[in-house]
Amino acid sequence: MPLKIKSHLMDKEEIGRAIKRLSHEILERNPDISMLAIVGIKYRGMYLAERIAKEIRNIKGAEIPVGALDITLYRDDVSQVSEQPVVHETTIDFDVNGKIIILVDDVLYTGRTVRCALDELIDFGRPKMIQLAVLIDRGHRELPIRPDFVGKSIPTSLEEAVEVKLNESDGQESVILCEKG
């Protein structure tokens, strides 16, 4: 689907600042970092999770475990989407039991991806708490899900799409608002 760019929402500096601020907010809410773990939703959520973990390391001087979720197998629309889903690996190399897990994704929209991620995380054990951090909240929830930490809230229409581009996956840093073609 061809996308027409409507406006630039964030540039490299703004994304960097948002990640810094998210990291500080996470630490403010969770001062005991020994219980903390970060899990990103593949792929851009995973890159953001790694950046937040790095930021926390810079601030606190301590490592926190990072994991990555591939939610393909938990989707509720596998048989509906026209494009065949590709399964990737989920890597959670630590014990989630009793942990406070910060779930990270790039864009929060309908909330269905987060629902998948919650179901999948809980199959690994019983975390003490799961908190949700997103770079962009664009609204239009279809499930009762709300984020705990938001980089930027952007009111959008259903005819628009938000694209997050990160160095790790796209070779550039930007958030753009597009018109669905």
Partner 1 sequence: MAKNSIKWTKKDLLGLEELSVEEITMILDTAKSFKEVSERAVKKVPALRGKTIAHLFLEPSTRTRISFELAAKRLSADTIGVSGAGSSILKGETLKDTAKNIEAMKVDMIIVRHASSGAPHVLSWFVSAGVLNAGDGAHEHPTQALLDMFTIREKKGKLAGLNVSIIGDIAHSRVARSNIWGLTKLGAHVTVCGPKTLIPVEIERMGCHVTYDLKEAVRTADVINVLRIQLERQKKGLFPTIREYIMKYGITEDVLTKYAKKDILIMHPGPVNRGIEISQEVADGPYSVILEQVTNGVAIRMAVMFLLAQYKAGK
Binding site for partner 1 (CB under 8 A): 43, 70, 72-74, 78-79, 83-91, 119-120, 123-125, 169
- Pick from 73, 113, 70: nearest CA to 90: 70
Tell me the closest approach of the beta carbon of residue 42 to partner 1, in angstroms: 9
Closer to partner 1 by Cβ: residue 23 or 90: 90
**Smallest distance from the beta carbon of 79 to partner 1, in angstroms?**
8
Query: Which conformational region is residue 55 in: left (phi greater than 0), alpha (psi within -120 to 50 degrees), or beta?
Result: alpha
Q: Give the CB-side neighbour count of residue 64, counting CA atoms within 13 A.
A: 31
Minimum distance from residue 73 beta carbon to partner 1 (Å): 4
The token duo for 127 is 């975390």
Between 61 and 171, CB nearer to partner 1: 171
Query: What tokens does 91 get?
Result: 């890597």
**Smallest distance from partner 1 to CB 82, Å:** 8
Measured CA to CA in angstroms, residue 166 lies from 144, 172, 179 at distances of: 28, 5, 20
The amino acid present at 101, given as its one-letter code, is I
Identity at 32, one-letter amino acid code: D
Residues in the chain: 181
For partner 1, give the closer residue by CB, 20 or 165. 165
* Residue number with CB closer to partner 1 (26 or 66): 66
